[in-house]
Chains A and B, each alone.
Chain A
Amino acid sequence: MSANATEGTHDGEWLDERETRWRLDRTWSQGRGWLAALSTVDHKQVAKRYFVTAFVFFFLAGVLALLMRLQLSRAENALIGPDLYNQLFTMHGSTMMFLFAVPIMEGLAVYFVPLMCGTRAIAFPRLNAFSYWVYLFGGIMLWVAFALNIGPDAGWFAYTPLSGPEYSPGKRVDFWAQMITFTELSGLAVAIEIVATIFKQRAPGMALNRMPLFLWSMLVMAFMILFAMPSVMLASTFLIMDRLVGTHFFNAAEGGDALLWQHLFWFFGHPEVYIIFIPALGIVSAVVSAFTRRPIFGYPFMVLALIAIGFLGFGLWVHHMFTTGLPRLGSSFYTAASMVIAIPSGIQIYCWIATMWQGKPRFATPLLFVVGFILVFVIGGLTGVMLASVPMDLQLHDTYFVVAHFHYVLIGGAVFPLLAGTYFWYPKVTGRMLSERLGKWNFWTLFIGFNIAFFPMHYLGLAGMPRRVYTYGQGLGWDSLNLVSTVGAVLVAISILILIVNLVRSRKHGEMAGANPWDAPTLEWATPSPPPTYNFRHIPLVASADPLWQHREQLPVMRGLSVDKRELVLTTVLDAKPDVREPVAKPSIWPFISAIAVGAMFIASIFTPWAVIFGSIPAAIAITVWFWPKGAPPPDEEESEP
């Protein structure tokens, strides 16, 4: 199956390689200029925006964390007052969870899922553009509010009745609740794109049992988003209605229930942790495999473990509510369910280490971050086991022990893998390698700084320090460890600065990467770095789980897609047999305009309920134009070549 003489087809003629590239470039061009930039539907372009936006939010939320650490560095510190401090931790939590962790994983999926599937575009590319804009507008709205000193201050969990109309007057909490609407709308859209892309656009031959674990993890994440996020959208909508139009969903005095909020929020909130963590597992699998030069040991167990975590993640939410006085016997079931999740997690850890055992580990920066991930995350997992126990939780709930726990889980379980993924995939996205030397500095400062910052918090929690306090008294014995923790936080900040330097410098001065610098096995490495807008000159054919290791010289490819029309091949769900050719949407400005219309409606509805009615008119018009039938004839299916 060599591709030397004959390349693409054009009205039955064979084209040579140069001609094929030229025509594909022309067909898939996203255009130039600012209008084209707002209209692009290239999933890689959109994903890069996700990366940059999410990283900016990560940086901003990190600055807030540093401010909090400075305030807590000594007892009775007067640096920051309670009003600002409460905004700081609310913004830190909300930004990290809703504007950084989930969107960056979504961005990663948007970039790499189509590439790993070996397809030319993401499913529903215009929806994809729309969802990015909605996310961006939601994030900007929240941060503008914060900059104007009307940032939310009721915590990222916004418990009622504290977040209700009586105890949080003003618009602060409304901005928070509406930000939820923005980001969850965006998240749901991305989830649908990911599921559709993975189910229907995998390269011919990539049966489910040949799917890279990264794709499996993104699939599980997408399904979790679909089931978890409606719950928090419902909750935040109830909250806005309580605040804006005087309903009483959460007002006990009028027959509502304050705890209803906690059930709805945590039914989303706990799966949310896994929505962040499961893609990270996919990154780790990709990195471990590439840097030990082995397929991951126990592939079927890994897949089952991912799916098991996806299901079990929905059965644990009550362990956030053990102190609310729910029936104790019932709570014990949630203890058991929470503990069970350690089994699939333990299996995954084992399989990665077993892969390292068999293979030949190469200690490049991505693998270092994976080792850091295991060392840090397992501590978080084990303290999670402790917190799952009702009696332990009665003591530890809402203390700094919990703060330590979930930072070990989220920084260990998501940020370390993300950085592994950054060093791993940066060459694919930019065409240049990141500096290994700075990478090692980045790793060691983060690993050491993180542990100095967060390990002492376990002890502080045991010593009785509650969360969300803007100051604490002298004589409680919390001073010195808080100072240590702050020093660690500064080291983490330095590490992030090293990362930024590396990211910016390597963009221009990094070593050229080539298509597959790490000799990795999956399809995203089968195309130049950075990939062309159409991803693959020819759609690859897959016959194993590690296609690039199986076919060292030349990947077998499928021909027959037009070079003059945007189209891709749909395959069957289970076996990925070629099914039909599917046209792909062209760039359009209307997703952007629709996002503006929808965003304006959301923001205006903070101030008056009438905005929902009048704001829906421009939104409806924009969306109608976006979906207006173009009258294109259906694609001729007989044309496709076997």
Chain B
Amino acid sequence: MDERSTGLHSIGDAMGRHAQDIDALWDVMLWVCGFMYLLVVGFLLLALFRRGPRRDINDHTQAHEERGLSASLATWTGLIALGLFGLTLFSYFTDRSLVQAAADAQIAIKITGHQWWWEIEYTDPNDPSRQLRTANELHLPVGTPVKISLESRDVIHSFWVPSLHGKQDLIPGRDNDIEILADKEGVYRGICAEFCGLQHSKMHLDVVVESKDGYSAWYERQLQAASPPSDPLAERGHGVFMATACNMCHTISGTDAGGSTGPDLTHVASRRFIAAGALQNHRDNMRAWLANPQAIKPGNHMPIVSLSADQLDALTAYLGTLQ
């Protein structure tokens, strides 16, 4: 797997505290259940192919054997009960530890689910001006507990980054949250895990876990407004963005574009993917996306805006400057 392109996305690659706890539980479950399965298969094969006396309906002299089988039924039932009791306890304590960690979260983030992308807001309780809004790419400092509150504007979505933690649903009218604590730097992939309509399949999320310094630097960069385009092509692209439908739905801070229906594009060029993981973020892909988003992600809410080839080139160049 090319980690640079898509990031880790597996329950087995547990890189967060919670995912590791669950992974440990999985190991126990696998061993206990595997053992029980072997017992059943062994008993079944023995029962079918054993040698020795067998009896059918005409033979009523089997009282002794009945007793033996009844005793082992009791043993079997006891074994199942014991196994289940053990697993239930283990599961319970794992669950407690997952929940308890929520107390000491240091960063508060709000994620809002949309059909079919993720809106991400960082808030600073001490300084409202340091609020940050981005989309589809979550940056976190390593080793820091983070509390994410989850909301939805439309249908039910589910936040899931398997390498970091299990799922939590985003439900309209309900306040859910999840805490994650990433142990290792790296890129982890998330995906919406509750069927949410046409493009449920293409609703990815990247989680970039960086050193604390790297995270702070990213945060400061993201706080800046977009710098005005310098080269003429990009400048023309800026004009296209403002003159066509783009600015109705998207925000680019530092400009007049203030729409809130689609993702914030202030630093869109800094993101690894476009369209919630549908395409890698480079010039050709961006141009293809702008030309016809419906071909790449059919049914998504971004309309086809008819632009000439020149306009497309210019717009692509402009968006490419939004680092």
Could you tell me if B92 and A335 are in contact, using CB atoms closer than 8 angstroms? yes
User: Once bound together, how far apart are the Cα atoms of A295 and B169, in whole Å?
Assistant: 50
Could you tell me if A297 and B192 are in contact, using CB atoms closer than 8 angstroms? no
Q: How far apart are A442's CB and chain B's nearest CB, in angstroms?
A: 20
Could you tell me if A257 and B29 are in contact, using CB atoms closer than 8 angstroms? no
CB-CB nearest 6 A-B residue pairs: A394-B166, A252-B173, A389-B91, A469-B201, A325-B176, A293-B56
Could you tell me if A258 and B84 are in contact, using CB atoms closer than 8 angstroms? no
Could you tell me if B29 and A162 are in contact, using CB atoms closer than 8 angstroms? no
User: Once bound together, how far apart are the Cα atoms of A389 and B29, in whole Å?
Assistant: 10
Could you tell me if B22 and A357 are in contact, using CB atoms closer than 8 angstroms? no
Q: How far apart are A116's CB and chain B's nearest CB, in angstroms?
A: 18
Partner of A390, one of B81, B91, B115, B201: B91
Partner of A477, one of B1, B11, B84, B169: B1
Which chain B positions have C-beta within 8 A of A390? 91, 95
Task: Tell me the A355-402 residues at the B interface (CB within 8 Å).
Answer: 356-361, 371, 374-375, 378-379, 382-383, 385-386, 388-399
Partner of B69, one of A259, A357, A361: A357
User: With A336-B88, A473-B277 given, is the CB distance from A257 to B191 under 8 Å?
Assistant: no
Could you tell me if B162 and A395 are in contact, using CB atoms closer than 8 angstroms? yes
Task: Tell me the B28-82 residues at the A interface (CB within 8 Å).
Answer: 29, 33, 36-37, 40-41, 43-44, 46-48, 50, 54-57, 62, 65-66, 69-70, 72-73, 76-77, 80-81
User: With A82-B298, A471-B201 given, is the CB distance from A399 to B193 under 8 Å?
Assistant: yes
User: With A323-B169, A378-B40, A471-B201 given, is the CB distance from A546 to B57 under 8 Å?
Assistant: yes
Could you tell me if A466 and B192 are in contact, using CB atoms closer than 8 angstroms? yes
Could you tell me if A374 and B299 are in contact, using CB atoms closer than 8 angstroms? no
B168 on the interface (CB 8 Å rule)?
A: yes
B12 on the interface (CB 8 Å rule)?
A: yes
Which chain B positions have C-beta within 8 A of A359? 54-56
Interface residues contributed by chain A, number (CB under 8 Å): 87
B121 on the interface (CB 8 Å rule)?
A: no
- Name 9 interchain pairs, CB-CB below 8 A, sorted by A: A162-B196, A162-B197, A325-B168, A335-B91, A391-B21, A392-B91, A466-B160, A468-B195, A469-B201
Which chain B positions have C-beta within 8 A of A293? 56-57
Q: How far apart are A545's CB and chain B's nearest CB, in angstroms?
A: 11
User: With A82-B299, A358-B69, A386-B29 given, is the CB distance from A398 to B95 under 8 Å?
Assistant: no
Interface residues contributed by chain B, number (CB under 8 Å): 82
Comparing B136-144, B150-158, B232-240, B259-267, the segment that makes contact with chain A is B150-158
B171 on the interface (CB 8 Å rule)?
A: yes
Could you tell me if B73 and A295 are in contact, using CB atoms closer than 8 angstroms? no
Q: How far apart are A395's CB and chain B's nearest CB, in angstroms?
A: 4
Task: Tell me the A268-315 residues at the B interface (CB within 8 Å).
Answer: 292-295, 297-298, 301
Partner of A86, one of B77, B81, B176, B198: B198
Which chain A positions have C-beta within 8 A of B46? 357
Could you tell me if B95 and A343 are in contact, using CB atoms closer than 8 angstroms? no
Which chain A positions have C-beta within 8 A of B98? 391, 394
A324 on the interface (CB 8 Å rule)?
A: yes
B184 on the interface (CB 8 Å rule)?
A: no
Which chain A positions have C-beta within 8 A of B299? 82-83
Could you tell me if B172 and A392 are in contact, using CB atoms closer than 8 angstroms? no
Q: How many A-B residue pairs have CB under 8 A?
A: 247
| Most chain B Cβ neighbours within 10 Å, of A298, A382, A468 | A382
Q: How far apart are A357's CB and chain B's nearest CB, in angstroms?
A: 4
Which chain A positions have C-beta within 8 A of B200? 468-469
Q: How far apart are B59's CB and chain A's nearest CB, in angstroms?
A: 9
Which chain A positions have C-beta within 8 A of B36? 382
User: With A357-B46, A379-B37 given, is the CB distance from A324 to B171 under 8 Å?
Assistant: yes
User: With A371-B48, A390-B91 given, is the CB distance from A385 to B29 under 8 Å?
Assistant: yes
**Contact mask for chain B residues 283-299; partner A; CB cutoff 8 A; 1 contact, 0 none:** 00000000000000011
Q: How far apart are B166's CB and chain A's nearest CB, in angstroms?
A: 2
A125 on the interface (CB 8 Å rule)?
A: no
Task: Tell me the B152-190 residues at the A interface (CB within 8 Å).
Answer: 154-156, 158, 160, 162, 165-169, 171-174, 176, 189
Residue of A at shortest CB range from B97? Answer: A391
B312 on the interface (CB 8 Å rule)?
A: no
Could you tell me if B9 and A463 are in contact, using CB atoms closer than 8 angstroms? yes
Q: List chain B positions with a Cβ less than 8 A from chain A.
A: 1-2, 5-6, 9-12, 19, 21-22, 25-26, 29, 33, 36-37, 40-41, 43-44, 46-48, 50, 54-57, 62, 65-66, 69-70, 72-73, 76-77, 80-81, 84, 87-88, 91-92, 94-95, 98-99, 115, 154-156, 158, 160, 162, 165-169, 171-174, 176, 189, 191-202, 277, 298-299
User: Once bound together, how far apart are the Cα atoms of A476 and B171, in whole Å?
Assistant: 27
Q: How far apart are B280's CB and chain A's nearest CB, in angstroms?
A: 10
Q: How far apart are A308's CB and chain B's nearest CB, in angstroms?
A: 12
User: With A83-B198, A335-B88 given, is the CB distance from A473 to B44 under 8 Å?
Assistant: no
A199 on the interface (CB 8 Å rule)?
A: no
Which chain A positions have C-beta within 8 A of B192? 466
Which chain B positions have C-beta within 8 A of A467? 195
Comparing A345-353, A525-533, A563-571, A618-626, the segment that makes contact with chain B is A345-353
Residue of A at shortest CB range from B1? Answer: A477
Q: How far apart are B89's CB and chain A's nearest CB, in angstroms?
A: 10
Could you tell me if B37 and A339 are in contact, using CB atoms closer than 8 angstroms? no
User: Once bound together, how far apart are the Cα atoms of A386 and B70, in whole Å?
Assistant: 28
User: With A325-B169, A390-B91 given, is the CB distance from A464 to B11 under 8 Å?
Assistant: yes
A328 on the interface (CB 8 Å rule)?
A: yes
Could you tell me if B84 and A340 are in contact, using CB atoms closer than 8 angstroms? yes
Could you tell me if A328 and B155 are in contact, using CB atoms closer than 8 angstroms? no
A170 on the interface (CB 8 Å rule)?
A: no
* Given contact pairs A343-B77, A395-B19, a sample of 4 additional A-B residue pairs in the complex whose CB atoms are under 8 Å apart: A354-B72, A462-B11, A464-B10, A469-B200
User: With A293-B56, A359-B55, A392-B26 given, is the CB distance from A382 to B37 under 8 Å?
Assistant: yes
Q: How far apart are A329's CB and chain B's nearest CB, in angstroms?
A: 9
A475 on the interface (CB 8 Å rule)?
A: yes
Could you tell me if B33 and A386 are in contact, using CB atoms closer than 8 angstroms? yes
A447 on the interface (CB 8 Å rule)?
A: no
